[in-house]
Structure 1
Amino acid sequence: MNNGKLYIISAPSGAGKTTLVKQLISDLDNLTVSISHTTRPMRTGETNGQDYYFITIEDFQAMQEKQAFLEYAQVFDNFYGTAQQTLEQNLKKGSDVILEIDWQGAQQVKKLLPDSISIFILPPSTEVLLQRLRNRGQDDEQIIARRMRDAVAEIRHYEEFDYLVVNNVFEQALTELKSIVIANRLSRQRQLHNLRPLLTALLS
């Protein structure tokens, strides 16, 4: 069985990454999201074990000491981490896995797993990003201003990613993400396993 492919997807806060990823895994088979651990509070509508594993700072630090994380980072005042064991189990089953992490985590994962594919999602403009952050209704203006400053710092790392997708029209951005996944599934390396009987028959 082929191992699955790991996709790293990063974006500044408000670029629409989470919505795109949810629709992507809904539309494509054999694609799952790696659920991260976080110390941030659970937001309205979120479910523990589905959106994140919500844990205390003490528990997070205990996992760090055991080197349980493939990557981890501090974003604002909270910690986020990807448990290595869960990720490896999904990949060995042949499932493609998406990691929704920031550029810091992407750097760490790329060093450890250089065959992973990294995608950065960009907003169409600063104005649109600001409006999306306000429309979420989750943060006051001070926090929104902080997120906007951080967005500029994050976008500066675009050169470290394999693909860039602009989330202007949602359906177009979704189609572009699907194209990346589907094209990779059609690579010779992955198709050799799936098409070996056909190739043998065609060449006999």
Structure 2
Amino acid sequence: MPRERRFSEPEVLERLTDVFATHGYASTSLALLQEATGLGKQSLYNTFGDKQAMYLQAIDCAVQRASHTIAAVQAAKTGRLAIEVYFEAMVASCTSDNAVDKHCIVTSGLLEGLSDAPLAWALTSRWQSTHELLRSEIERGQRDGSIVSTTPSTELAELMIAMTSGLRVAAQAGRSRAQMERSVALAMSVLDRV
């Protein structure tokens, strides 16, 4: 008869996600995962599968964590306000007292250059979803008049998503909240130029 599990899978997955986001895929060892979760190798493998399977689930977990931000972005009254809400959440995350919040599993994974097809697809598809969110809100702003720039929404979204990655790097380089807010304001000013 199998032993009853005495741990919460969602809580353990949250810890796995924190480890992968902080250390990246290649630098995350089984020992780090065991230390963070308090579980043995067999328990981890039996519950979540191998390292690749754990990482893929961690990506999904990280995306789920961001769902409230996405909802707030989409609920904003105008397209420009939506982009502001997005960057307010980004700056808050990057300047959080919780070190884990400063990391993004998708950005970290893309910077690692992971070439394994399932991992690369999972990361690029999540990246593209963020790009699409930004593009959609920029288009909404162009329609509702809150964004005056006539630059194609795809190009503006490219700038905004590059800014997203830049904020993550700035956080790791020790930039202050005020410095990040000035950078965001400068990027946002592009939306106000015809």
* Fold-level similarity (TM above 0.5): no
What TM-score does the superposition give when structure 1 sets the normalisation length?
Answer: 0.28
Structure ranking higher in strand proportion: 1
Q: Which has the higher helix share?
A: 2
Q: Under a length normalisation based on structure 2, what TM-score does the superposition of the two structures give? A: 0.29
